[in-house]
Structure 1
Amino acid sequence: MGQVAWKALCLSLFDYKTEKYVIAKNKKVGVLYRVVQLSIMAYIVGWVFVVKKGYQDVDTSIQSSVITKVKGVAFTNTSELGERLWDVADYVIPPQGESVFFVMTNLIVTPNQRQDTCAESSGIPDALCYRNSDCNSGEAVAAGNGVKTGRCLKVGNSLSGTCEILAWCPVEKKGRPKKPLLANAENFTVYIKNSIRFPRFKFSKTNVLDTTDDSYLKTCRYGPDHPYCPIFHLGNLVSWAGSNFQEMASEGGVIGIQIEWNCDLDKPPSECNPHYSFSRLDNKFAEKSVSSGYNFRFAKYYRDAADVDFRTLIKAYGIRFDVMVNGKAGKFNIIPTVINVGSGVALMGAGAFFCDLVLLYFLQKSNFYRGKKYEEVRYVVFRCKGACGVAEAFEISTLGEEFPLKRGKVDSYAQELEEGSRSRGTPHTHDNIKNLEGDSALWLF
């Protein structure tokens, strides 16, 4: 018996099983099924493959280098500086521009500062005093310019004064000019050279068009007529970011220049070009917000004939430009293609499952369709009377329930057994009957 069981198990390894389909003649469910199929197909073809290019391998690890070069000159005539011509070396900080460069548009100049003692600025709360004891010697002035010497300096018969400090004197006292000193910076230009590389595909490109015209970079300016020209007017950059250049030049600010590379490497390399966008990055919550603007201080140092150091302090207001580069490249690859096709096939199966739920549980004839889709496995038992010359036939379900069979049903089982035996080439013999408990027999198929 054990050998027979093992033999049957081994032979079953080579059996092929296939699904049995039930065709439901229901137009409502049929139309629903086709609509679901078409929707899934439209999603896979339209969105996954056409819009998202699901057939491509994508590289988002872009490697980028940015070089900037500003050009332009301006002439000013002020009481502090007199007549002066400003060129790139004067107003661009740092002079070697990279992904961030600053253009000075306004400034406060405090010339000829020396290491000395002088009165602190009256606009600093920690420097206010009424007597010398209010100025502790050696104590730094909070948010001030130097260290207290212990003296309280008063002007005339004033009751209050300011502490004397050791600092670079005289200290800065002037306010910011309302009009920008370098208002002509609006007409300056900046050349932005961006080189990128996608390491996965070993693809490199720059934002400078391949052209044999030597005068192209001298004459082109970025705009609708030249969308791939890398030379920009500073005034246009601020305008495209939604701000006014003259207002921004007075107190300073930050402009973001976004360079986006979206390259389809299944197309020629000449079609891989950058797209530019511009935005204001500094927080300008209100027109008179204390947090608005952008400024910093720097100094230029000198030494006179008496070997005494002095300096010119400059508080610079201006516009900082941040160049940010993002991008991705895609190229056909069989692996993502197969994965997305497989996902689409799985979605088709989900659509069929949804329609099955509607057919089997949400229609008026759901019970009828469930009875046709799900079959209960039963076997036939003949209980003999006497010497088994006359027998009663029963169907036994997998739950042990007995269902008496009529004569017609018995004949159909007999015919099925006969046809099955004939198709297998085995005659209908007593070997097809298995004894059960002495007085019953199981008809095997």
Structure 2
Amino acid sequence: MRLLLRFLQDALSDFFFEYETPRQVLVRNRRVGVVCRLIQLGVLVYIIGWVFIYEKGYQSTDIAVSSVFTKMKGVGYTNVNGVERVWDVSDYVFPPQGDSSFVVMTNYIITEGQQMGTCPEVLLYLLMNSRLSLFQGEMTGVCVNTTNTCEVLAWCPVEDDRIIPSPPLLMSAENYTLFIKNSVTFPIFGVTRSNLVEGIDADYINKCLYHPEDAPLCPIFRLGDIVKLSGFNFETIAQEGGTIGIVIDWTCNFDVAVKHCKPKYNFHGLYGNPSDTGQTRPSLGYNFRYAKHYLENSVQKRTLLKVFGIRFDIIVQSLARKFDIIPTLTAIGSGVGIFGVATVVCDLVLLYLLPKREFYKNMKFKYTDTPIQVRSRQCAK
């Protein structure tokens, strides 16, 4: 019993009051030394250059919660077949609620005075001697000889959209202006910002117009400039419509003053490349139909508009950073661990590739033999 207690006491004493360190061998070899230092230098460059400077490994990150409000301004004028019209915001913006995704009408085909009844279809085109129609209503089974089409029960007269007006009827949309109000909140850091940053007051907004160099923070944009900055020609995209993405980029570093956190605006065409034509794109343009219903002499009628327009999608992307001790220690710890790669590579060179590898093995490793192994080796000699 005493021996057992003595054994446990010695074991605990050795565990708590002794320190073990690995044995190190200093190898004087130029090739191995150069390889080791090059690997360590590469690891150091990776940790400092990539992890800390480029990837900002010493900071924690947060993504913003955002809201977008838009408002259009501008008046359009058309004169089609002697019929003059003035188009204001309530006529050419869909939907009118100021969403982050909306359409501005730039061209249209109008069919007025439609009412429910029977009338002939409009022939679409001929394909391999077969006539294809638009299927604009419920077929009655009656053939109309004057048009060589079927009679349908539909809103009559049916729409004829085979010819798209050129140039676009609302080219004046190029000079419409768009006001964007954007607010972002970074919940982890407790920071709220607006694109109406310091210096953007009512007086400035009343006279500014966005320019990527002269007025990069102005929240008022001319539609023609937006389309141009996205790489498209306004008349081309206004003819049959398209889609433009407005990206508001909030990339912020909260290790400096919050006032330096400002938005950057980028513009992208989302309907193919600017050089694409109708032959290279499977579906050209952007359009939809919109009907205005009314009563005339107790008869329900409607005016049908096939709207060609530019759809604007406002996309907010954000990334905020701030110093945090936890990711900093994590980055340092992983970097120190990577330094071990140099030791592993140099050991492989020493023990398996150099001519004096047996000598280095004997210096690096200390062998202990049992008495039986010693006697066996002596007998072998």
Give the equivalent residue in structure 2 for 1:19: 22
1:312-345 deviation per Cα after TM superposition (whole angstroms, max 9, x unaligned) = 1100001000111111111111110110000011
CA distance in 2, matches of 1:336, 1:327: 20
Separation in structure 2 between the aligned mates of residue 129 and residue 378 of structure 1, nearest angstrom: 98
Cα distance between partner residues in 2 of 1:347 and 1:399: 41
CA distance in 2, matches of 1:375, 1:316: 87
Q: 1:359, CA displacement in angstroms?
A: 2.1
Assess if the C-alpha contact under 8 Å between 1:129 and 1:163 holds in 2. no
Deviations 1:19-69, CA, capped at 9 Å, x for gaps? 111001112211222222222112111211111111111113x21101111
Paired letter, 2:284: S
Show the counterpart of 2:143: 152
Aligned residue type for 2:100: S
Distance in 2 (alpha carbons) for counterparts of 1:43 and 1:229: 39
Say if 2:338 is the partner of 1:347.
yes
* Alpha-carbon separation, structure 2, partners of 1:400 and 1:274: 82
Match of 1:279 in 2: 268
**1:161 shift after superposition:** 2.0
The answer to whether 1:332 aligns with 2:323 is: yes
Tell me the equivalent position of 1:94: 95
Aligned to 1:191: 179
Query: 1:222 touches 1:232 (CA, 8 Å); kept in 2?
Result: yes
Instruction: Point out where structure 2 has 5 or more consecutive residues left out of the alignment.
Output: none
- For 1:337 and 1:106, the matched residues in 2 are separated by 56
8 A Cα contact 2:244 2:267, kept in partner:
yes
1:230: which partner in 2?
A: 219
- 1:265 equivalent to 2:251? Answer no
Shift of 1:214: 2.9
Q: Which residue type is aligned with residue 83 of structure 1?
A: E
Extract structure 1 runs of 4+ deviating beyond 6 A: 397-400
Give the TM-score normalised by the residue count of structure 2.
0.90
Cα offset, 1:3, TM superposition:
4.7
Select the structure with the greater relative contact order (CA < 8 A; seq sep ≥ 6): 2
Residues of 2 paired with 1:268 and 1:333: CA distance?
A: 16
* Structure 1: unaligned runs, 5 residues or longer: 131-140, 380-395, 405-445
> Which amino acid is the alignment partner of residue 198 of structure 1?
F
Q: Displacement of 1:399 after TM fit?
A: 7.7
Correspondences of 1:200-219 after superposition (within 5 Å): 200-211=188-199, 213-219=201-207
Cα distance in 1 for residues equivalent to 2:356 and 2:208: 74
**Amino acid of the structure 2 residue aligned with 1:358:** V
TM-score (normalised: structure 1): 0.78
Per the TM alignment, residue 123 of structure 1 is displaced from its structure 2 partner at its CA by 1.9
Between the aligned partners of 2:218 and 2:376, the Cα distance in structure 1 is 85
Q: 1:44 aligns to what?
A: 47
Alpha-carbon spacing, 1:339–1:84, altered in 2? closer, same or farther (3 Å): same
Quote the offset at 1:142 in angstroms.
Answer: 8.1
Distance between the aligned counterparts of 1:196 and 1:400, measured in 2?
A: 81
Q: CA deviation at 1:360?
A: 2.1
Equivalents in 1 of 2:376, 2:198: separation in Å?
A: 85
Q: Distance in 2 between matches of 1:150 and 1:7?
A: 107
How far does residue 347 in structure 1 lie from its aligned partner after superposition?
Answer: 0.8
Which amino acid is the alignment partner of residue 159 of structure 2?
E
Residue type of the partner of 1:372? M
- C-alpha distance in structure 2 between counterparts of 1:399 and 1:322, whole Å: 83
Q: What's the % identity of the aligned pairs? A: 44
Question: Does the aligned pair in 1 maintain the 2:123–2:134 contact within 8 Å?
Answer: no
- Of 155, 177, 185, the residue aligned with 1:168 is 155
Cα 1:398/1:4, change in 2 over 3 Å: farther
Residues 57 and 328 in structure 2, CA contact (< 8 A), matched pair in contact too? yes
Residues 77, 120 of structure 1: alpha-carbon distance in 2 compared, 3 angstrom cutoff:
same
Computed over aligned residues only, the root mean square deviation of the Cα atoms, in angstroms, reads 2.5
The residue matched to 1:19 in structure 2 has which SS? coil
